[in-house]
Amino acid sequence: MNRNQLPYIVISLLLVLSLAVSSCRQKGEQHQKLSEPVAHKAMHKTIANIIYGVNVDSLQVKKGMVKHNQHLSDILLKHGVRYAVIDHIAKYTKKIFNVRQIRKGHRYVVICKKDSLETPVWFAYEISPSNYVLYHLHDSIYGMLGKKPIVRQQVITEGTIKSSLWNAMIAGHDDPNLAIQLSDIYAWTIDFFELRKGDQYKAIYQKIYVDGKYVGLGNVDAADFIQKGVHHYAFYFEQNGKGDYFDEHGNSLERTFLKAPLKYRRISSRFSNHRWHPILKIYRPHHGVDYAAAEGTPVHALGDGVISRKGYQRNGAGNYLKIRHNSIYTTQYAHLSRFARGMSVGVHVRQGQLIGYVGHTGLATGPHLDFRVYKYGMPINPLNLKSPPAKPVVPKYRPAFDSVVLHYKPILDSLINNKP
């Protein structure tokens, strides 16, 4: 080899190496392209069809809805379930779910084998949109409770009142049940019987979805009710394992009731739907509690409120007063010997304020106070009335609460009310 041939040999070697590298790249690229469909195929694995916790890929699903006066036996017998199995479920799974509570309009599913007899294997009944009971019908017979996945979506709404809060919700295409929740939250802050045209509400709350369908309201996280230009904020916060609503300063929006409206000797008669009346000598409802006390014992308002009714019933309550505390609670005080000075309809009274004196006017055998409590206009047992704690946010939780206010308050303040 002479020196003149050396450059050509070097060039030839470089060309060979270049071709080899190019060939390897092409093979590598070809391998990558071939492997892509394999990887793509691996990513799309078959997803099992599971309902009520059961894989139904190889089973047959029969859906239905409970009809009027339809019982478990009516449903299962027509699907070929033996009566002995139905009887076993009814007798021995009561602790899980009492089949007598099956109700019209609730959905159910019978899951069967894909054989010639369509043998039923599972039965699922929806107790609620998210809760169900599942029964195994073949071989071993048992039942279990289950829960569907719940999806919570946080939404923001606002509105202006023209006639009522309920109508404002409907006009704004909101769930009108939100009006009930806001009434509960602001029960001690705002008198919903005195709402005026132009009052506004703003709320950040949760909607609950099951199987992609809206099933109801969740928690109200924050709200602002604007009445006569004054903002009434409400922020949901949990402390010591209990959730409550507080204003922006950490004060509870709830108020307390007195344990009882007077000092009494004993309870002479309790709340009952079937009580023997000592004067009329008949059984009839007694939707109150009788506190036996001496004639003239002072009677005090159970909580802040407005006197909504004052009168005399000769054949009934005698001298009586009704106090509307908020849009939820009303209390009544009957058989009074006389009223305290200044008591008349429309007068605001404070918790513990003297409103009258124990007597036995009307139908009464002796001096006592017939005390009654109404919730949403329906009588409830006064002894079961739960008085809220009305405690502010405790100091150790204050930083966490302040962060909640700092998050939600600017959102509420930024809302511009465009709803009718």
Domain assignment present for residue 41? The answer is: no
Determine the pLDDT at residue 232: 95
Using a cut of 0.75, tell me whether the model's pTM lies above it: no
- Residue 81: CB atoms within 10 A of its CB come to 22
Task: Let me know whether 173 and 235 are in one domain.
Answer: yes
Task: Let me know whether 170 and 236 are in one domain.
Answer: yes
Task: Let me know whether 156 and 226 are in one domain.
Answer: yes
Task: Let me know whether 416 and 347 are in one domain.
Answer: no
Task: Let me know whether 357 and 272 are in one domain.
Answer: yes
The whole-angstrom separation of Cα 170 and Cα 281 is 50
Complete DSSP assignment for 264-333? -SEEEE--EEEEE-TTT-SEEEE-SEEEE--TT-EEE-SSSEEEEEEEEETTTTEEEEEEE-SSSEEEEE
Domain assignment present for residue 15? The answer is: no
Task: Let me know whether 223 and 333 are in one domain.
Answer: no
Please say if the pLDDT value at position 25 is more than 80. Answer: no
Domain assignment present for residue 319? The answer is: yes
Least confident of 11-15, 228-232, 359-363, 412-416: 11-15
In which band, very low, low, confident or very high, does the pLDDT at 21 lie, cut at 50, 70 and 90?
A: very low
The whole-angstrom separation of Cα 256 and Cα 2 is 112
Q: Tell me the average pLDDT across 36-64.
A: 75
Least confident of 7-16, 117-126, 163-172, 224-233: 7-16
Q: pLDDT tens digit string along 294-305?
A: 999 999 999 889
Domain that holds residue 212: 149-255+390-420
Percent of the chain with pLDDT strictly greater than 70:
83
Determine the pLDDT at residue 68: 94
Percent of the chain with pLDDT strictly greater than 90:
57
Domain assignment present for residue 28? The answer is: no
The CATH number of residue 191's host domain is 3.10.450.350
Highest mean pLDDT (candidates 92-101, 163-172, 279-288): 92-101
Residues with Cβ within 8 Å of 182's Cβ and at least 6 positions away in sequence, in order, are 165, 201, 203, 220, 223, 225
Tokens 């021995």, residue?
92
- Residue 206: CB atoms within 10 A of its CB come to 16
Q: Are 248 and 405 in contact (CB under 8 A)?
A: yes
How many residues appear in the chain? 420
CA 355 to chain centre: 36
Determine the pLDDT at residue 283: 55
Domain boundary among 147, 165, 195: 147
Residue 24 half-sphere exposure toward CB, CA atoms < 13 A: 5
Q: ∠ CA 135-137-142 to the nearest 5 degrees?
A: 50
Residue type, 166: W
Domain boundary among 102, 124, 147: 147
Q: Tell me the average pLDDT across 370-378.
A: 92
In which band, very low, low, confident or very high, does the pLDDT at 371 lie, cut at 50, 70 and 90?
A: very high
The burial class, CB within 10 Å (0-12 / 13-18 / 19+), for 149 is exposed
Q: Tell me the average pLDDT across 105-122.
A: 94
Least confident of 99-103, 274-278, 311-315, 378-382: 274-278
Task: Let me know whether 80 and 157 are in one domain.
Answer: no
Determine the pLDDT at residue 297: 94
Determine the pLDDT at residue 400: 96
The whole-angstrom separation of Cα 400 and Cα 230 is 26
- Residue 413: CB atoms within 10 A of its CB come to 11
The whole-angstrom separation of Cα 330 and Cα 309 is 11
Q: Tell me the average pLDDT across 57-79.
A: 94
In which band, very low, low, confident or very high, does the pLDDT at 328 lie, cut at 50, 70 and 90?
A: confident
Task: Let me know whether 337 and 377 are in one domain.
Answer: yes
Determine the pLDDT at residue 34: 35
Q: pLDDT tens digit string along 228-281?
A: 889 999 999 999 888 889 999 999 988 778 888 888 768 878 766 655 456 545
Q: pLDDT tens digit string along 118-157?
A: 999 999 999 999 999 999 998 899 999 999 999 999 999 9
If DSSP codes are grouped into helix, strand and coil, which group holds residue 110?
A: strand
Task: Let me know whether 394 and 406 are in one domain.
Answer: yes
The whole-angstrom separation of Cα 235 and Cα 272 is 38
Domain assignment present for residue 35? The answer is: no
Task: Let me know whether 228 and 137 are in one domain.
Answer: no
Please say if the pLDDT value at position 374 is more than 60. Answer: yes
Task: Let me know whether 398 and 379 are in one domain.
Answer: no
Structure tokens at 225: 């009710």
Please say if the pLDDT value at position 206 is more than 50. Answer: yes
Determine the pLDDT at residue 121: 96
The CATH number of residue 377's host domain is 2.70.70.10
Least confident of 205-209, 225-229, 308-312, 338-342: 225-229
Domain assignment present for residue 39? The answer is: no
Please say if the pLDDT value at position 192 is more than 90. Answer: no
DSSP conformation class of 359: B
Cα dist from 70 to 66, 99, 122, 383, whole Å: 6, 11, 19, 38
Domain assignment present for residue 189? The answer is: yes
The whole-angstrom separation of Cα 289 and Cα 296 is 18
Domain assignment present for residue 335? The answer is: yes
Determine the pLDDT at residue 18: 52
Task: Let me know whether 309 and 355 are in one domain.
Answer: yes
Determine the pLDDT at residue 145: 96
Please say if the pLDDT value at position 201 is more than 70. Answer: yes
Least confident of 48-52, 188-192, 272-276, 279-283: 279-283
Please say if the pLDDT value at position 10 is more than 50. Answer: no
If DSSP codes are grouped into helix, strand and coil, which group holds residue 341?
A: coil
The total number of structural domains in the chain stands at 3
Please say if the pLDDT value at position 389 is more than 60. Answer: no
The whole-angstrom separation of Cα 136 and Cα 121 is 6
- Residue 63: CB atoms within 10 A of its CB come to 11
The whole-angstrom separation of Cα 101 and Cα 87 is 15
Determine the pLDDT at residue 38: 44
Domain boundary among 117, 147, 177: 147
